[in-house]
Amino acid sequence: MDDNTPDIEITELRKLTQVIKDKYDYEFKDYAMSSFKRRIKRVLDLYKFKNVDKLINVLENNPDYFEEFVSEITVNVTEMFRDPTFWKVLKEQIIPNILLNHNKITVWHAGCSSGEEVVTMCAVLDELGALDKAKIIATDIDTAIINKAKNATYSMKNMEVNNKNYARYQGTRSLEYYFKETNGEAVVHKSLLENVSYRKHDLVQGAIFSKFDLILCRNVMIYFNQTLQNAVLNKLHESLFKYGYLAIGSKESLIWCEIANKFIVVNNEEKVYKKVKD
């Protein structure tokens, strides 16, 4: 790490989030402090802004820059079949359970990033012969990353880790079944993603827009503080049908959240919960 920029003070971050709220109506004040501070520091380094005031100044005067800024402060790291054992549980228990009672399944990927998670879901559904029963919505706050998700084209370099994950998930095919290699890139077959619609949506300020059988919100709320986690969990809870499932990241937990009593744990290791109370 380098240390060209001085420490960023909390008061500066407060000022920044207030300007963003006033001008763009996005609310970042309850993002987890240590990572948010590093994201801002990264932006200062990247654009050679000398301090937070300079960044504020640019945001105030260049509305065009805002989306790029959001893109830079969000953490988009993702993989296909990330946490392979989670996908195994989804395939063997959760999705079959949902389909036991309905002939349809609605899924929301909240914070889908570049879409690897969505491709994974479609592959799992396909392997279960249930892809045509699915309606999938994938959302993210970051416009650039949503476009990337729509494109569903990934560098072959990234496919290495994806392939390893797929092997650990013990898939019945090989991951290559789902894409075509063109110019060093893996282009996911369009037919696999036919039932997916991609939208920009902000979990913090955005309204509830539908109800789902299954919501994946994995490795998104770790960037929020507890206050915001509680608020977002309320929205996710409201967006689930009764007896619907919520999956969070394998290192996240509902235990100390206010809403915990409205869910039961379905799989503690893989962090899958079921809504049991409205």
Residues within the interface to another protein (CB under 8 A)? 1, 3, 32-35, 38-39, 75, 77, 83, 164, 168, 219, 221-223, 225-226, 229, 249-253, 255-256
Residue 120 interaction partner, one of ligand SAM, another protein, none, beta carbon < 5-8 Å per kind: none
| Span 143-162, contacts to ligand SAM by CB under 6 A | 145
Binding range to ligand SAM, per CB under 6 A, among 17-25, 44-52, 87-95, 202-210 = 202-210
Closest CA to 109 of 243, 276, 236, 273: 236
Closest distance of CB 256 from another protein, Å: 7
Residue 250 interaction partner, one of ligand SAM, another protein, none, beta carbon < 5-8 Å per kind: another protein
> Residue with structure tokens 């879409």?
115
Residue 99 interaction partner, one of another protein, ligand SAM, none, beta carbon < 5-8 Å per kind: none
Instruction: Report the C-alpha gap between 220 and 126 in whole angstroms.
Output: 26
* Sign of the dihedral defined by the CA atoms of residues 73, 29, 83, 238, in that order: negative
Is 177 in a helix, a strand, or coil?
helix
| Span 36-55, contacts to ligand SAM by CB under 6 A | none
* Per-residue exposure over 78-100, b if at least 16 CB sit within 10 Å of its own CB, e if not: bbbbbbbebbbbbbeebbeebbe
The token duo for 13 is 């971050």
Q: For the CA atoms of the chain, what is the radius of gyration?
A: 20
Closest distance of CB 267 from another protein, Å: 15
Please pick, from the candidates 218, 237, 271, 275, the single residue that binds ligand SAM as defined by CB under 6 A: 218
Please pick, from the candidates 17, 74, 229, 239, the single residue that binds ligand SAM as defined by CB under 6 A: 74
Q: Which one, 93 or 250, has the nearer CB to another protein?
A: 250
| Span 95-114, contacts to ligand SAM by CB under 6 A | 111-113
Is residue 247 near ligand SAM by the rule CB under 6 A? no
- Give every CB contact of residue 247 below 8 A, 6+ residues apart in sequence: 86, 90, 94, 214, 215, 216, 217, 218, 270, 271, 272, 273
Residue 97 interaction partner, one of another protein, ligand SAM, none, beta carbon < 5-8 Å per kind: none
Is residue 236 near ligand SAM by the rule CB under 6 A? no
CB 259 within 8 A of CB 75: no
- Give every CB contact of residue 105 below 8 A, 6+ residues apart in sequence: 95, 98, 99, 125, 130, 133, 134, 135, 213, 214
Q: Which one, 244 or 249, has the nearer CB to another protein?
A: 249
Closest distance of CB 257 from another protein, Å: 9
Please pick, from the candidates 43, 59, 75, 266, the single residue that binds ligand SAM as defined by CB under 6 A: 75
* Per-residue exposure over 191-206, b if at least 16 CB sit within 10 Å of its own CB, e if not: ebbebbebeebebbee
Instruction: Report the C-alpha gap between 37 and 56 in whole angstroms.
Output: 14
Is 219 in a helix, a strand, or coil?
coil
Closest distance of CB 146 from another protein, Å: 19
Residues interacting with ligand SAM, by CB under 6 A?
74-78, 82, 111-113, 117, 140-142, 145, 202-204, 218-220, 223, 249
